[in-house]
Amino acid sequence: MKNSSREKKPDLILLLATLLLVTVGTVMIYSSSSILATERFQDGQFFLKKQLFFLFLGLLVMILMIRIPYYQLRKLAWPGIAASAIFLCAIWIPHLGIRAGGATRWLNLGVFSFQVSELVKVALILFLAHFLTQRVNHIREIRQGLFIPLAVTGVLVGLILLQPDFGTTIIIAVIALMMLYLAGGRILHLAGLVALFIPVALWLLLHKSYRLARLTAFLDPWKDPRHSGFQIIQSLISFGSGGPFGVGIGDGMQKLFYLPEPHTDFILAVVAEEAGLIGVGLILFLYFILILRGFRISLKAPDLFANLLAAGLTMMLALEAFINMAGVMGLIPLKGLALPFLSYGGTSLIMSLVAVGILLNISSYEG
C-alpha cells in the first residue's frame, strides 16, 4: 500500500465545526443538568465536571489520532474486532456489566464505565475498511469477498441485539451496506441483503412490546400522554416554547423534571427551548458542515482504505445525529441514541472525537 507523505494541514473547517459543537454541548449539558445533579448528587456541576474530564481525554485521543498515520491503523483491524467481541460478552459477567434503562450496555472498569457499542462501531468500520481493501478484487464474490465481513458484522450485531440495542444495530447495518457498495459490491447482492434485513428488522420491532410502544407513540403520542407518549410530548412542548430566539440559556422549564434525562437523549429539546429556532438552526448547520467535510475527505482520500474509513466514520456521525434529532423532533420513533458532541456521555464523546481525529489525519494527505 502506498504510504503517502503529508502535503497539507488537517481540515481546519472540520476541526472548527467539531470544537464549536463540543463547546455548545458543554454549555447545554450544564444548563440542562444542574437542577437534576443538585437533586441527585447535591452538586449542580456533577455532570459538567464528568463531561469536562471526558472532553479532556477525548481531545487528547483526537490529537493522537491526528498524529498517527492513518495507514498504521490497519494493524488494529483484527485486534479491534476481537476486543469488541470480548467486551460485548464481558458485559454479561456479574459485577462487570451495568444494567440501566432495561438494557445491559455498559462495562464497569471500576474508575469509570463505558458503552461497548460505541467502541464496536468504530472498530467495525476500521475492520471493514481494512478487509475490503484487501479483498477488493473479490468483492463481487460471496465466498471470497462478502462472507467474512458479513459474518463478522452479523456476530457483533447479534451480540448488540442481546443487550438490547436496536438503534445501534440499524446504524451498523446501514454503514456496512454503504461500505460494501463503495468497495464495489454487486447491487444484486446488496439488494438481497436489504431484502433479508427488512423483515428481520420488522420482526424485531414488533417482537418487543416497548419497541411497539415507541412506534405507536410516534404515530399518536396523545393516545397515551402519561406513559409511552410522555417523552415526545414534552420534547415537542420544548420546541414550541422556544420560538425564534428561545427563552434564554438556563431559563428553560422543561428540564425541571418534565423532560426525562434532558442532558442526554433530549438535549436538543433543551436547546430548542432555551436558544430557539436560531440555536437549533446553528447546530444543524454545524452538523451539515461536519458531514460535508467528512465526505469531502473521503472523496479526496489517497487510497481505497482511507476512502472507506473516512466514509464509514462520517456516515456513523451522520446517522447518529440524524436519528437523535429526528426522534426528538417527532419525525421518526425514538431510538435512545446520544447526539454526537452534544449529549452527556463519556464513551460517545470520546469515540466521536476519535472519528474526527482520524478524519483530520486522512485530510492531511494529498489524494
Average pLDDT over the chain, rounded to whole? 88
Asked whether the predicted pLDDT for residue 127 surpasses 90, the reply is yes
C-alpha cell at 342: 452534544
C-alpha cell at 109: 472498569
pLDDT of residue 6: 59
Q: Choose from 141-150, 200-209, 303-312 the range with maximum mean pLDDT.
A: 303-312
Distance CA 290, CA 356 (A): 9
The whole domain housing 176 covers 12-363
How many domains would you assign to the chain? 1
Q: Tell me if 349 sits within 8 A of 29, measured CB to CB.
A: no
Closest listed residue to residue 106, CA positions, set 125, 123, 119 = 119
Residue 7 in any domain: the answer is: no
Mean pLDDT over residues 298-314, rounded? 95
Residues 177-191 have pLDDT tens digits of: 999 999 888 888 888
Residues 95-104 have pLDDT tens digits of: 788 877 667 7
Asked whether the predicted pLDDT for residue 28 surpasses 90, the reply is yes
Residue 2 in any domain: the answer is: no
Residue 3 in any domain: the answer is: no
Residue 4 in any domain: the answer is: no
Mean pLDDT over residues 143-155, rounded? 87
Residue 246 in any domain: the answer is: yes
Q: Tell me if 33 sits within 8 A of 267, measured CB to CB.
A: no
Strand partners, 104: 99
Residue 5 in any domain: the answer is: no
Residue 54 in any domain: the answer is: yes
Helices H, strands E: what count in the chain?
12, 3
**Largest Cα–Cα distance of the chain, in whole Å?**
60
Residue 6 in any domain: the answer is: no
The pTM of this model reads 0.92
